[in-house]
Amino acid sequence: MISTGTGDEGYTSLLDGRRVPKSDEVIEAGGQLDEANAFLGAARAFADDDRLKGILREIQEHLVRIGTEISCSDSSTVKVCGVSFDGEIRKIEGFISYYEKKIQPGPHFVVIGENFCSSFLNIARTVVRRAERNICRLFHQGSMKNKGVLVYMNRLSDLLCRLADMEERKEGGS
């Protein structure tokens, strides 16, 4: 059941059962991950390249795992937490390298908006940066302990920038 009424007083539950205010930084970061995931889904819907669609789908799955990680980082009761993101980070770095060689980015910024896919990728990139700032805050406060999440989020925004650049250039953008 989606509507339980248990959040009517402004509190929600984390995966380990703890109740926190809906304004809690963990909830805020989780919401930003959800927002980024939604924009990535929109970009994927408009993408015409199967490889890009696959990459975006994989990133969406990673964002769900990261949301799980930050919502149970203070607890040892949830078994999915503490997952290393090393393999995902290496994969993202490989994608960045591949697309940098493919598009040879120049020293100038790309004007956003040549097509829906690139626009949604750029929106997702900005949301990922915002989520990264909140996750960084959680990490430095000690309430999120998995440094791999920080590294992943930093690399992810770089990748989304490259993917958006690639999509812009396909449409003749500059």
Q: What is the DSSP string of 101-134?
A: HHH---SSPPPS-SSHHHHHHHHHHHHHHHHHHH
Indicate whether 7 belongs to any domain: no
Q: What is the pLDDT of residue 131?
A: 97
State the residue range of the domain holding 67.
13-77+85-103+111-170
Q: Which tokens belong to 96?
A: 């960045």
Q: Is residue 2 part of a domain?
A: no
Residue 6 lies in a domain: no
Provide the CATH number for the domain around residue 160.
1.20.1200.10
Residue 3: inside a domain = no
The pLDDT value given to residue 46: 97
Distance CA 86, CA 42 (A): 27
In tens, the pLDDT along 122-132 reads 999 999 999 99
Residue 71 has a pLDDT of 82
* 89 vs 91: CA distance, rounded Å: 5
Q: 10 Å Cβ neighbour count for 54?
A: 12
5-38 confidence digits (pLDDT tens): 766 778 877 777 788 888 788 889 999 999 999 9
Tell the burial category of 101 from Cβ atoms under 10 Å away from its Cβ (0-12, 13-18, 19+).
exposed
**Cα–Cα distance between 109 and 114 in angstroms, integer?**
14
Across 56-64, average pLDDT: 95
- State residue 130's pLDDT score: 97
Average pLDDT over the chain, rounded to an integer: 85
The angle subtended at Cα 114 by Cα 109 and Cα 119, nearest 5°, is 80
3-state secondary structure of 35: helix
Give φ, ψ of 13 to 5 degrees.
Answer: -105, 140
Give the pLDDT score at 108.
62
φ, ψ for residue 19, nearest 5 deg: -100, 130
Bridge partners (DSSP) listed for residue 19: 13
- Residue 56 domain-assigned? yes
Q: Residue 77: its pLDDT value, please?
A: 45
Least confident of 85-89, 109-113, 167-171: 109-113
Residue 8 lies in a domain: no
Q: Give pTM, 2 decimals.
A: 0.86
- How many domains would you assign to the chain? 1
Mean pLDDT in residue range 39-59 = 97
Residue 60 lies in a domain: yes
